[in-house]
Each structure stands twice: as structure tokens, then as C-alpha cells.
Chains A and B, each alone.
Chain A
Amino acid sequence: MTTDTVIEIRALRKVFRDFWRRPTVVAVDNLNLTVHRGEVFGLLGPNGSGKSTTIKMLLGLLYPTSGEINLLGAAPTDTAVKARIGYLPELSHLHPFLTPRETLGYYASLFGIPSREAKRRTEQLLRMVDLEAAADRPVGMFSKGMARRVGLAQALINRPELLILDEPTSGLDPIGTREVKDLIRLLAKGGVSILTTSHLLADTEDICDRVAILDRGVLQSEGKIADLLRQPDAVRFQIAGLDEAAAAELRRKLESETGRLVKQDYPALSLESYFLQVVSKGRRADVERFELAPFLLEREEPPHA
């Protein structure tokens, strides 16, 4: 494993067995993956494809039947490695009677972060996920989206080097989804490596550098999104301000020049962009308010010898 690699999976296999040790499901079979430092890697696949099982093996919650996992240079069960990881599960699994402030304080203590520093990070994260106003209400009373924001904040409390996000945008409204996607891009620019799973392919396309597609536990495809989606035998031009007659004339010329059929259409906004345009008309500031907690970008000096 090189210093440039944060996750290395070799020939990973997970078989669930029954009481008599007979195999019931092969959840993951011969999986090989590498995630590089600073990249956003998407793990895609239909339900039951083995995404969550892979993530749980990466986190040391499940044990592989065979194969190797190297996480930041060590085994997933290594306590020191856990200090460098942030994890957002698919369901938030938060303590319902704790407030967001208490939740973040609790997880900060598990990282051994001194209380003053924990307090500072907590306040910044609460501002970042827009929960300052609800910081002292029990999480059990929150909507799914609000609980998701608390989950995201707890995943960042230790300023992780590697962030593992299981369905990060599930339960969020379009504004929340956009904010989380912006956050992921920002963190990635900051050098944080991110492994994420999603059913929402559009979201994955927006944020991921590379993706792997799993089906029935087997890796079907892997690579850069641009490479995977590129159609090498087609070219698209986009011209602003052409009227219908001029467009028809241009198409006729292109068809006679190339001898091929030319497809003509009028680009439309995606529903997400349109929704955000409409909703953000009166609340521009709100959409742009979502900013990175400053502590996530603080440079730390190496200790003196």
C-alpha cells in the first residue's frame, strides 16, 4: 500500500452462514478496490448488492470470510486507525434523548478531544449544518433530515482523514442534498478522502471522481465517471441565441457535410436546478450559508522533535 492509498481491498469475500455454519448468502465475492487520498469514490449498486456489507467490513463491524482490507495502512479493527475515520451510517442511529450539542460532545470525548476544543468544534459544526437553533432539543424529536445533519456533524468532529458516508443524501430535501454535495466537494478539495454509497445516481455523478458498481456481491465495473460515461462516437454542440430557422439551416448543412443524421434538441434545466432556482429566490443567503466549519481547514504544525 502506498502513502497515496487510503483504502485497499484485496480478494474480499463475505459469506453469511446459519447456525450450522452452512452458507446462506455470499454478500461480497472477490472484491478488489483501491481508493486514493483526496478522491471521492462512489460505491454503487442495487439493493442487496453488498455495498453496506463492504462498508461494515471496512469499519470492522463485520469480519471478512477471506481477503484483505487495508485502511490507512492498518487493519480496520485498529483503534488508532478509527481515530482518523468519520462514518455516517445509512440510518442515523443517534441517541434520541441527547441534544445535538450533547451528541457532538459525546462523540468528541470518544475521540479523546479536550473539552475546550470539543466545544469549539461542536459550535462550528452546528453552525455548518444549520442546527444552532435546535442545538438544545433532543434528537429524538428531529425530522429525518435534521437527524441526518447531526449524523454528518458527528462524522466530522474528529477532522477525519477518511470519510465513509452510507447514503449521505437520503432523507434530505433538495436544498439539504445540494448542501451536502457541496460539502463533500469542499472536503475533497481539502484533501479528505471520501467513500460514499448512494442509490441516487445523479448525486453520485455530481460528486464522485471514480465509481465502482457492485451487483450480487461482485464488482461489475470500476473507473472514472468521465471515462465510464463517455460516448466516443458522438459530439454535441451547444449554441446560444439561434432562432428556429437558423437552427434548421445549420442542421441541414451539418447533415449534408457529414452524411450522418444530426439530432437537434433544446436543453432544459434539471428539475433539481429548477427547484433550487425557485426556492432560493427569496432565500439566496440560506443556500449559500452552508459553509465549511473552519476547524476542518486548519493547518496543524508537526510536533517538534
Chain B
Amino acid sequence: MRENARKPAPCMARHQTAEQGGCPPGGTHSASYPPGASFGGGAYMRRITAVSALAFRAALRTRTVLALLVLLALVVLALPHVIRGDGTPEGALQIRLVYTLTLSFGILCLVTLWAACSLFSAEIDSARIELTVVKPVTPAQLWYGKWLALVALDALMILLVYGGVYAQLRWTIHRGNWSEAQRPASRFVTHPQLPSVQEEARQVYQQWAAEKKLPPKLSKADVLRELANKAPDRYSIISPGERVSWRFAPRRAVRAGDPVQVRMRLDTEFSTSEAVSGRYLLSCTDEGGHTVETAWRDFTQKAIEFTVDSRQLTAATNAPLRNFELVFEHTGDEKVSSAIMTRFRKDVCLLTPGGSFEANLARSALIELGVLAALAALGLTLSACLSLPVAAFTGTLLLLLFVVSDSINTVTIAEERKNIGNRIGYWVSEYVNRAVAFTSQTDPIGALADGERIGDADLFRTMVGNYLVLPALFCFGGAWILRRRELAENSK
């Protein structure tokens, strides 16, 4: 020990170096001698990884993750057996996909938000953060490290949930010996070619103006906005004897031999649709295209789906099919049959093969993980400025506001917004909805259950918005707060 003490001292050596001009007074450590710390890109990432690994390890070593795993296992494994289905493969698919995945996702949303709300606040509360922030690590690195740990944990949970659901589904298909048509699929959805909602709003406005049916006390802009808002939910009312046609141009051409499915959802009561009958004429409008007629008698179902072999739609053997027309004719008796209603923008579509169900499942998992990543970012930033219970409370309240804002926006009409209270409520929900719309525009679980392929654009929007833009914004806010805030315990 004493011999060691007589060795040339490190800091003496450093001091000499500094005097030799290697290190300017007050210059950075790394300027003159190999430092105790490094600041390169590798070191930058190493700091983020270290913070991440610590948070990940902390989560794994507490009972919280174990409790969460047990809860999710209960939802995935036990819920499908508790809920009684209607005995059909479609019903079983709904329970296994919609109920299980929605409940698991809801649990993960709350747990992620609350866990994120505790990460900084608990460290500040216990003064543990003091030891970290005196090290050469920036608030942004701390923030990103913790966020990555949460996202990694969520990815693990999502993987387990989706893996469990998929394994159960495979087992059910195997045991029930489901036919090809009953198995979950992934299909491109093509909606009718229609004018834009703004164009449609203008057309309706002109029509109302001509008929002198414009609502009083509302400006033209208000009416147009209202019409555009409601356009996606407008109904086609098809009376007996009436014919309606829609044109489709799938983004990807249909190969010969591929099945083309027609789906039309109805919004008509059982009693009124009982006497309805109709026929569908599906044609390929490309050169050499044919028409296939399908008569339909049972309109009591909520959705009508039938499949046409694409080879029946064209004379050419191998030519891809690009344009289609669907004609629906209400053939019910005028005296006993009533009109049927369908939201033509949403409820009428062509479904064509589009990848595997497994790939769609993966897309859905990625979108859900994106929402969890955004929630983790929100919670982390809240925890940088509020104590744990207050952050968790605020976060939950915001989450609820996000959830209900869309519904409030959809159900209110201009007339109801005249009331000052309603106007404030609508205004808040509209702006909250606008602010978060891009984070949750898609309904991946609904798409999975309906066998609709989750679009590339939706996936891209989620990836950019929820994995990059939102976390970057929240990180900026969180780091700014951490930099400005006094982090020692006796700062009050």
C-alpha cells in the first residue's frame, strides 16, 4: 500500500501535462489525457444502453412483471374458455382475436402508462437519481434509456400475448378441422371509387341550396364542415326495385385464379330486412371482362359476403384484373319489403388476397406496440415533472380523454354545439382528437378479425408517429424539464 503511494501520482501526471500545454485551464478532461470517461458515439450509446439495461433489470427483478405475466396468461388462456361463443368458427375467431387481444392491450396500456409514470418520479423521490445525474449522462440519454427499456418490455409482453393467441388459434383450427374459407386470412380491402368527402360535401350543399333545405343560422363553412365530418358515415338507402353501382380499382391487380370477395355490411333491423332479396352483378370492366351474377335471399345478416373466382370474370386466361364494377339490385317486393341501408364509403368493399394472416398478425403487433411506445413516452415525461401518484392520475385522465374524444366528435351535431357547455366540450375533444389522431387511426384488432390486411400506410404512419415523432417530442419536453428542475431532496 505504501509502495503504491510512492508511485507517480496520476493526477500529478495530469497536472504536468496540463502545464505543458496539453490541457488548457478548465479544458475538458478528454482534451489532454485519456479520460476516465469517453464521449464518442459508442460511449453515447453505451450510456443509453446502460440506463436501459438497468430499468429492464429492475422491472424483471420486481414481482410486477411476474404479476403482469400471470394476468396476461389468464386473459390469453382462460378468457376464451370463460366466454361462450356462438359455436361457429367466426365466433371462435372473434373471441380469440378481438376479446383476448383487446383486453390484453388495455391492460398493457394502463400498466405501461403507470410504469412509465413511476420511472423518474420514484428515482427523484428516493434521491437515487442524484447518483446518476452527477455522472456524465444527459437528461435526454436518461429519458431514452428508460423509454427503450419500457418498449423492450412491452415488445416482450406483446410477443408473448400474440404468440399465445396464435398458438391457441392454430390449435383450435386443427381441432375444429376448419375449412380454408373459415380460416383467418389477410386480404386487401378496396373501397368504391367515390369523390372526396369535401367534394361530396360541396355537392350536397349545392343540392340543399337548390332545394332551399339549408339549415338556418349556420354559416356555409359550418355546413360544409359538418357534411364533410359526417360523409364517411353517410348511408345509401336502397329501396325495392332500385339499382346501385360502385366501381373499384384495387391497388394491386388481381391475378387469374385468385378469389375476389364482395362484402356489404347492412345497418337494417332484422324485422325490416327479413323480406328483402337482391342480386349482385360483379363485372370486370377491363377489356374482355365478364359479369357474374349472384342472387341473395337472406338479408337478416349484418354482413353479406360471397366469393367469385376471378377466372369467371375474364376471357383472358392469365391477364391480371384491374377494374371492377359491382351492381346491387333490390329485388324485394315493393309491398312487403322495405329499403336497406348501407354506409357506402365503409361498408361496401372488394376483398382480394393480400399476404398471410401471420404477417398481418405481426403488423397488428407492431401497431399496438407503437401505441404502447407513445404511452410510455407520455408517462415518462409526466414522471419527470410530477410525483408518481399525480403523474399516474394525470396520465390516466389524459388517456381517458384521448379515448372518448373520438366518440364525442363523431356523435355531436352542429345543432347541439350551440349550448356553451357543449361547445367547450366539443372544442376540447376536437383538438385532443386532432392531436392524437395519427397515433390511433387504425383498428388493427378489428382488421385482423375481419381478415383485412393492415395497410402499409397505416403501418408507416404508426412507425413514424409513435416510434419516432411522439417520443422525440416527449423526450425533448422531458429532458428540458429534467435540466431545469432541481433534483436534490431539500430543494423545496
* Interface status of B13 (Cβ within 8 A of chain A): yes
Whether the Cβ atoms of A91 and B5 lie closer than 8 Å is no
Kindly state whether residue A142 has any CB partner on chain B within 8 Å: no
In the complex, A130 has a CB within 8 A of chain B: no
Please, how many angstroms separate the alpha-carbon atoms of A27 and B9 in the complex? Answer: 37
- How far apart sit A73 and B39, CA to CA, in the bound complex (Å)? 18
What residues of chain B lie closer than 8 Å to A59, measured between beta carbons? 130, 134
Residues from 146 to 160 in A contacting B, C-beta threshold 8 Å: 154, 157-160
Find out whether the CB atom of B131 lies under 8 angstroms from the CB atom of A111.
no
Query: Smallest CB–CB gap between A151 and chain B, Å?
Result: 8
A38 interfacial by beta-carbon distance below 8 Å = yes
A83-B37 contact, Cβ under 8 Å, with A186-B5, A191-B15, A299-B13? yes
Size of the A side of the interface (Cβ < 8 Å), in residues, is: 70
Q: In this assembly, does B18 line the interface, its C-beta being within 8 Å of a C-beta of chain A?
A: yes
Whether B33 lies near A97 (C-beta < 8 A) is no
Q: How far is the CB of A189 from chain B (nearest CB, A)?
A: 5
Interface segment out of the listed B46-54, B69-77, B97-105: B46-54
Partner of B36, one of A60, A72, A84: A84
Question: B17 contacts the other chain (Cβ, under 8 Å)?
Answer: yes
Contact across chains for A161 and B50 when beta carbons are under 8 A apart: no
**A14-51 to B contact mask, C-beta < 8 Å, 1/0:** 00100000000001000000000110000000000000
Which residues of A from 75 to 91 have beta carbons under 8 Å from B? Answer: 77, 79-85, 87, 89, 91
**A154 near B131: Cβ-Cβ < 8 Å:** yes
How distant is the Cα of A107 from the Cα of B54 in the complex, in angstroms?
10
User: Of A107, A298, A301, which one neighbours B135 at CB under 8 angstroms?
Assistant: A107
When chains A and B are docked, how far (Å) is the Cα of A37 from the Cα of B25? 12
A87-B131 contact given A62-B488, A161-B29, A297-B7, CB 8 Å threshold? yes
**Least Cβ–Cβ distance between B198 and chain A, in angstroms:** 50
With A93-B126, A190-B9, A191-B12 already in contact, the answer to whether A159 and B39 are too (CB < 8 A) is no
Query: Which residues of chain B are near A52, meaning CB under 8 Å?
Result: 490
* Contact A302/B33 with A73-B27, A107-B135 known, Cβ cut-off 8 Å: yes
Nearest Cβ in chain A — how far from B45, in angstroms? 9
Task: Check B491 against A3 for contact (C-beta < 8 Å).
Answer: no
Q: A37-B11, A106-B50 are in contact. Are A89 and B131 (CB under 8 A)?
A: yes
Asked whether, in the complex, the Cβ of A60 is within 8 Å of the Cβ of B133, the reply is yes
Chain B residues lying within 8 Å of A70, measured Cβ to Cβ, are: 26
Which chain A residue shows the least CB distance to B138? A79
| B43, CB-defined interface residue at 8 Å | yes
Judging by beta carbons under 8 Å apart, are B127 and A296 in contact?
no
A303 sits at the interface (CB 8 A): yes
How many chain B residues sit at the interface, stated as a range, is 35 or more
In the bound complex, what is the Cα–Cα distance between A291 and B4 (angstroms)? 9
* B9/A191 in contact, CB under 8 A: yes
A98 interface residue, CB < 8 Å from B? yes
B490 lies within 8 A of A97 (CB):
no
Does A112 interact with chain B (Cβ within 8 Å)? yes
Whether the Cβ atoms of B49 and A109 lie closer than 8 Å is yes
The answer to whether B18 touches A3 (Cβ under 8 A) is yes
Q: Return chain B residues, CB-CB under 8 Å to A72.
A: 26, 29
Q: A112-B39, A298-B10 are in contact. Are A97 and B50 (CB under 8 A)?
A: no
Q: Is B425 in contact with chain A by the CB < 8 A criterion?
A: no
B136 pairs with A79, CB closer than 8 A: yes
CA distance A244 to B32 in the complex (A): 64
Q: Is B492 an interface residue (CB 8 A)?
A: yes
User: CB-nearest residue of chain A relative to B51?
Assistant: A110
B9 interface neighbour in A95, A113, A297, Cβ under 8 Å:
A297
B34 contacts the other chain (CB 8 A)? yes
Q: Decide if B421 is an interface residue (CB 8 Å cutoff).
A: no
Known: A297-B7, A299-B8, A302-B17. A83 touches B35 (CB 8 A): yes
Task: Check A300 for interface membership: any CB of B closer than 8 A.
Answer: yes
B28 CB within 8 Å of chain A: yes
**A74 near B: Cβ within 8 Å?**
yes
B14 touches A1 (CB 8 A): no
A2 within 8 A of B: yes
Contact A111 B136 (CB under 8 A): yes
Which listed residue (A94, A97, A300) contacts B34, Cβ 8 A? A300
Which 6 A-B pairs give the minimum distances between C-beta atoms? A73-B26, A112-B43, A191-B11, A109-B50, A83-B37, A158-B36
Which residues in B have some Cβ–Cβ distance to A below 8 Å?
A: 1, 4-5, 7-15, 17-20, 22, 24-30, 32-40, 42-44, 46-47, 49-51, 53-54, 57-58, 61-62, 126-128, 130-138, 483, 486-488, 490-492
Q: Please report A residues at the B interface, Cβ cutoff 8 Å.
A: 1-3, 16, 27, 37-38, 52-53, 56, 59-63, 70, 72-74, 77, 79-85, 87, 89, 91, 93-95, 97-98, 102, 106-107, 109-114, 154, 157-161, 182, 186, 189-193, 288, 290-292, 294, 296-303
* A-B pairs with beta carbons under 8 Å apart, 27 shown: A2-B25, A3-B15, A38-B15, A53-B490, A56-B488, A61-B134, A61-B486, A61-B488, A79-B138, A80-B28, A83-B135, A91-B127, A93-B128, A110-B132, A111-B135, A113-B36, A113-B38, A158-B135, A182-B1, A191-B15, A291-B1, A291-B4, A294-B4, A297-B8, A299-B13, A300-B14, A301-B33
List 18 additional A-B contacts (Cβ < 8 Å) besides A61-B487, A89-B127, A186-B5: A16-B492, A27-B490, A56-B488, A61-B134, A73-B24, A73-B27, A79-B136, A82-B136, A83-B37, A107-B131, A110-B47, A154-B131, A161-B29, A190-B10, A191-B9, A296-B10, A300-B13, A302-B22
